[in-house]
Amino acid sequence: MKYCPQCGQLLRRIEIGGKRRDTCMDGHCGFVHWNNPVPVVGGIVEWNDQVVLVRNVGWPATWYGLVTGFLEAGEMPEEAIVREVKEEIGLDATLHSFIGMYEFYRKNQLLICYHLTVDSGDVRFPPDEIADFKWVPLETVQPWSAGTGHALRDWLRTRGIERELRDFTDANN
């Protein structure tokens, strides 16, 4: 942002609260762009000792990740991930556990991740959002070094599976 969304004045970067922030210099306005992270839910969806990985439309052909999505107004994260699994892969999921929260600085997101199971592997996805999917056996799935890859690594540890994070650019090949 170059200009204040409230009054239109040019923004300047000044230190506020220990960080440099875009701030309106008009004394009557006082707008500060806090750049707070956006909450996003992520799900490790398990079926038959496999986890589903999805490739979003617009991602390179080798990039796959967990089912993710934004919280909607008035929605709790636990509700949001069950809804996202239904919307993105067409399956009814049962929520089992909270895994953790993870930063994703690249997109200024806070990832809130869960483990879920489904009763079927018959994925149906909206082609305008998801380009592809794959079921990956627990014994071969490799966590990656960005975003939801950390959640996958931590969840695998709860299963007694210790895996190093693969470089994001090589992940999920």
User: Structural domain of residue 21, as residue ranges?
Assistant: 1-35
Note whether 63 and 113 are same-domain residues: yes
Note whether 74 and 115 are same-domain residues: yes
Note whether 132 and 149 are same-domain residues: yes
Note whether 109 and 147 are same-domain residues: yes
- Structural contact between residues 133 and 61, judged by C-beta atoms closer than 8 angstroms: no
State residue 170's pLDDT score: 54
**Number of domains composing the chain:** 2
Please tell me the distance from the alpha carbon of residue 108 to that of residue 106, in angstroms, as a whole number. Answer: 6
- Structural contact between residues 100 and 152, judged by C-beta atoms closer than 8 angstroms: no
Distance (Å) of CA 21 to CA 12, 39, 57: 8, 20, 33
State residue 141's pLDDT score: 97
Q: Low-confidence residues of the chain, pLDDT below 50?
A: 172-173
Residue 12 token pair: 């300047």
CATH number of the CATH domain containing 87: 3.90.79.10
pLDDT tens figures, 114-162: 999 999 999 999 999 999 999 999 999 999 998 899 999 999 999 999 9
**Residue 157: which H helix or E strand, with range?**
helix 149-158
